[in-house]
Amino acid sequence: MTTPITDRLRELGLELPRLPQPAGSYVPFRRHGDIVYLAGQTSSRDGKAIYAGALHGPDDVERGYAAARLCMLNLLAALSQACDGDLDLVGGCLKVNGFVLAAAGFDAVPAVVNGASDLLIELFGDAGKHARTAVGVAVLPRNATVEVEAVFFLKS
């Protein structure tokens, strides 16, 4: 079944990855009524770190942006599962939290997390706009460059 969001992904040259298996005692999403809480997803694909290691300076922003974008693709795979494969059931994004493995002094964390935010807006338009937190951290699971979590709501 093809949907407008699926078509939009294809237009952007993107494909949802397989949903990563949880690496601990949690589930990839939890749905409560029309709210879907998504567990954090890292900058990995098929269990392999695509983007790993800390970001150090301005030259690393592009790499971090791509890592955040991959995190959002992983999140969208979980969201798709929560919607039984139909992302057109998504009413919008409420909140995104981005965590960036940042070396001391790296202050471009918001620019990195824009990789996740921009993808949502490209796919969902105004419904993709959200509240957001972007934090630089010293450690992420398996040395991932970025981890992102999000909260969405579904259409009534």
Instruction: Report pLDDT for 22.
Output: 85
Cα–Cα distance list, 150 to 6, 13, 30, 55, 117 (Å)? 19, 23, 11, 22, 10
CATH of the domain at 89: 3.30.1330.40
Q: Is residue 113 part of a domain?
A: yes
Instruction: Report pLDDT for 20.
Output: 73
Read off the pLDDT of residues 110-151 as tens digits, 9 standing for 90 and up: 999 999 999 999 999 999 999 999 999 999 999 999 999 999
Total number of domains in the chain: 1
For the chain, list residues with pLDDT below 50.
1
Q: Is residue 44 part of a domain?
A: yes
Measured in residues, the chain has a length of: 156
Instruction: Report pLDDT for 21.
Output: 78
Answer yes or no: are the C-beta atoms of 122 and 11 closer than 8 Å: no
User: Where are the alpha helices (H) located in the chain, listed in sequence order?
Assistant: 4-11, 61-82, 109-124
Tell me which residue range forms the domain holding 142: 5-19+29-154
Q: Is residue 24 part of a domain?
A: no
Q: Is residue 74 part of a domain?
A: yes
Q: Is residue 106 part of a domain?
A: yes
